[in-house]
Amino acid sequence: MLYFRNRLFFSILLIVFVGAPMAGAEMIRVDPSIPDYAKTGMLAGTLNSVGSDTMNNLMTLWAERFKKLYPAVTIQVEGKGSSTAPPALIAGTAQLGPMSRDIKAEEVNAFEKKYGFKPTLLRIALDGLAVYVNKDNPLQQISLDEIDAIYSKARKRGFSEGLEKWGQLGLTGDWPARSINLYGRNSASGTYGFFKESALAKGDFKDRVKEQPGSASVVQGVAEDRYAVGYSGIGYKTSGVKALKLSAKKGGGAYEPSYQNVLNGKYPLSRYLNLYIVKDPKKPLSPLVGEFVRFILSRPGQGVVIKDGYLPLSAEVVASELAKLGEKTDSKAQK
């Protein structure tokens, strides 16, 4: 699973450039070594994107920018959860399957049974998953073992007790007797699956988690509930919530969910945002799908990633993904 555990991997990604404002005071812009996008000839037709709710707004922004280049193209975006992407690709009702988690073995098997080959994975952005509390909550940081003890029945990370009250986390004043109200995503969500594997060590969630249909809904719930905690993408932060610093173990070094900390491997909950497509290795890719993907992996396409609150890829990762399409970074897309 590509969850940024390899420090060597991060040496490739450490190309950060000052330019556009990001989370907090952090500044970053797209790696200028990423190819620009050059418009091709006339394109017409319809693309359907079905999958991740986390990526719904990002896919919509890309679709809007792409339509400005190609007015005769229509892209329909539906985001009901990552688990909806593989069935849509298999049924042929979607050509684009955005997923905020890696595809599961059984999903690959079902895809391969239909097509005779595996789906093509394209990494299209980076994200960090934040743990949010209400803006009035005095808590500043938390560890993964404490998060596990808050959310999971199993406590597979080995914390000594289940955490049910805010006083167990050291809060004082009117907080100690208050229950920790849990917000999270539903099981169709890739964010749900990523959090379960990475934060809960695959342990089962407690029954009292208030499952929300979307990432923004989690943050809104925490903003409206003074005693709540929730998890959602970094890009969904609002003024009504606080993103906690995270450490791997209680008492260990805690790091903010910033883009720099995602890049350098210090932040514990980081991931790729993925796009799966149907690409027959024996046939050329559909021109419409191909051009849309090339746009996503271009300099302006990765600029959209920043505008939506996520982290753009490095030029090395872009080159790797273009190679899956038979492209090179010195292709026609580069000026």
Domain boundaries, the chain: 7-127+271-323, 128-268
231-264 in b/e burial notation, b at 16+ Cβ within 10 A? bbbbbbbeeebbbbbbbeebeeebbbbbbbbbbb
Distance CA 18, CA 138 (A): 31
Give CA separation, 139 vs 155, 172, 279, 292, in Å: 21, 10, 47, 43
Distance CA 148, CA 130 (A): 14
Same fold yes or no, 7-127+271-323 and 128-268 = yes
Distance CA 323, CA 184 (A): 36
Secondary-structure percent of the chain, ordered helix, strand, coil, rounded to 5: 35, 25, 45
Distance CA 154, CA 138 (A): 27
- What mean pLDDT is predicted for residues 158-184? 97
Closest CA to 58 of 308, 301, 300: 308
pLDDT (0 to 100) of residue 245:
97
Q: 270: burial class by Cβ within 10 Å (0-12, 13-18, 19+)?
A: buried
* pLDDT tens-digit map of 89-105: 999 999 999 999 999 99
* pLDDT tens-digit map of 157-166: 999 999 999 9
**How far is C-alpha 57 from the chain's CA centre?**
12
Query: Residue 8 pLDDT > 70, yes or no?
Result: no
Query: Coil, strand or helix: which one is 149?
Result: helix
Closest CA to 244 of 129, 111, 73, 130: 130
- In CATH terms, 7-127+271-323 corresponds, of 3.40.50.300, 3.30.70.980, 3.40.190.10, 3.10.20.30, to 3.40.190.10
- In CATH terms, 128-268 corresponds, of 3.10.310.10, 3.40.50.300, 3.40.190.10, 3.30.70.20, to 3.40.190.10
Distance CA 65, CA 51 (A): 20
* pLDDT tens-digit map of 201-233: 999 999 999 999 988 999 999 999 999 999 998
